[in-house]
Amino acid sequence: MRKSTGYVMMGIGFTLGIVLGLLIQLPVITLPTSGREHLALGLDLVGSEPDVRKRAQLANDLNIDDINKVLRNGEELHGITQNYPLRGLKHSLHSVVYPTNNGSKSHLQEKSVPIPNITRDYQQQSDNQPIVSPPDNEQDIPKQDQQGASWVKAVSDMVDGILWSSSLENSCLKAGQSDTEQKQWREKSSRSKVVKMSEGCGRMQNRLLMLSDGTRACARYRLNTDQIQGEIYSFYLGRLLRINNLLPTVLSVVNSQSDHWRTVHTEMANAQWSDNKVVVLTRWSEGLYPAYIPIHLRGDNRALLPTSGSLGEMGACELMQWSDLIVFDYLIANLDRVVNNIHNKQWNSQMMESPAHNLERDTDGNLIFMDNESGLFHGYRLLDKYSSYHKSLLNSLCVFRNSTANTIERLHLSGNVGDELQQLFVRDEPAHNFVPTIPKKNTKILQQRVGDVYEQIQHCRARFL
Nearest to 451 by CA among 421, 416, 409: 409
Mean residue pLDDT across the chain: 74
Q: Count the Cβ atoms, other than its own, within 10 Å of residue 268.
A: 21
How confident is the model at residue 114, as a pLDDT? Answer: 32
User: Residue 209: beta bridge partners?
Assistant: 197, 217
Is residue 377 within 8 A of residue 332, CB to CB? The reply is no
Statement: residue 364 has pLDDT above 60: yes
- C-alpha separations of 362 from 145, 176, 354, 407 in Å: 12, 9, 18, 26
440, with CB counted inside 10 A (0-12, 13-18, 19+), is exposed
Residue-wise pLDDT for 402-439, tens only, equals: 999 999 999 999 999 999 999 999 999 999 999 999 99
Using the predicted structure, report yes or no on whether residue 106 has a pLDDT greater than 60: no
- pLDDT tens per residue across span 197-248: 999 888 789 999 999 999 999 999 998 889 999 999 999 999 999 999 999 9
pLDDT-based confidence at residue 249 (cuts at 50, 70, 90)? very high
CA-to-CA distance for 108 and 350, rounded, in angstroms? Answer: 13
User: Binning pLDDT at 50, 70 and 90, where does residue 280 land?
Assistant: very high
pLDDT at 59: 41
Mean pLDDT in residue range 323-350: 93
Closest CA to 212 of 233, 191, 239: 191
CA pair distance 194, 214, nearest whole angstrom: 10
Cα distances (angstroms) measured from residue 59 to each of 53, 67, 394: 10, 9, 40
Q: Is 464 exposed, middle or buried (0-12, 13-18, 19+ CB in 10 A)?
A: middle
- pTM for the full predicted model: 0.69
List the domain boundaries for the chain: 2-81, 109-465
For the chain, what is the largest distance between any 2 Cα atoms, rounded to a whole number of angstroms?
Answer: 108
For residue 316, give the H/E element and its range.
Answer: helix 316-332
pLDDT at 193 over 80: yes
